[in-house]
Chain A
């Protein structure tokens, strides 16, 4: 396993379902992120975890619930979503803070979510 892995790659769910997206990074990084990518809109930062603590929540609706049990894993729990939540959800990681050396984000391939 290399880099950042996201599962599932594709997910279709109804508005009353509960599902979760999973992200795992094998790079030894200390920060992880969830981004939302919708058609014709810029990438939106949703959540940031640094050293397993949430440090950023960009006014994301409560129907999205992140979880970071350790520095290698990040989840996005989904419940009672709306059709407009259909998008590509991207996970990323970085070696953040003053100890970082490259400053770049490493992305997974994304989870394509369709809400019916």
Chain B
């Protein structure tokens, strides 16, 4: 079974500053990795995903994440945040078969971008 840890429940950051949201996972099998964003009163939207290949993954809205197999991490980064990035961010893992049924989400990190 997989599990996901997001160590920071809340991350406040000033506008135009860089940000890193941390995600660590555990799994006994190969996994797919995802970051989702949830804006207030909305559903979850995919930011980026790692399936295979290059360990540096670029997503929408200027976000990127790096898969580190040895550290079992998939941290999300953005070099300069905007007020509009204020949202809840969820890291998720799934395995390579029946992945929809085996999706595991982390508890989420609330990013607050301050003016």
Give the interface of A toward B (CB within 8 A): 4, 6, 31, 33, 41-43, 45, 48, 50, 55-56, 90, 92, 94, 96-98, 100, 102-110, 112
Contacts and interface: CB of A to CB of B under 8 A. Distances in A.
Contacts, number: 64
Nearest to A101: B51
Nearest to A106: B46
Contacts of B43: 4, 6, 90, 107-110
Contacts of B45: 107
Interface residues of B, number: 24
Contact of A107 (B44, B49, B51, B106): B44
The 5 A-B pairs with the shortest beta carbon distances in the complex, nearest first, are: A107-B43, A94-B100, A96-B100, A107-B44, A109-B43
B84 interface: no
Interface in B34-54: 34, 36, 41-46, 49, 51
A103 to B, nearest CB: 4
16 contacts: A31-B100, A31-B101, A43-B90, A48-B101, A90-B43, A96-B98, A96-B101, A103-B99, A104-B46, A105-B44, A105-B46, A105-B100, A107-B43, A108-B43, A109-B43, A110-B42
B94 interface: yes
B56 to A, nearest CB: 19
Listed residue (A43, A45, A48, A109) with the most chain B CB atoms within 10 angstroms of its CB: A43
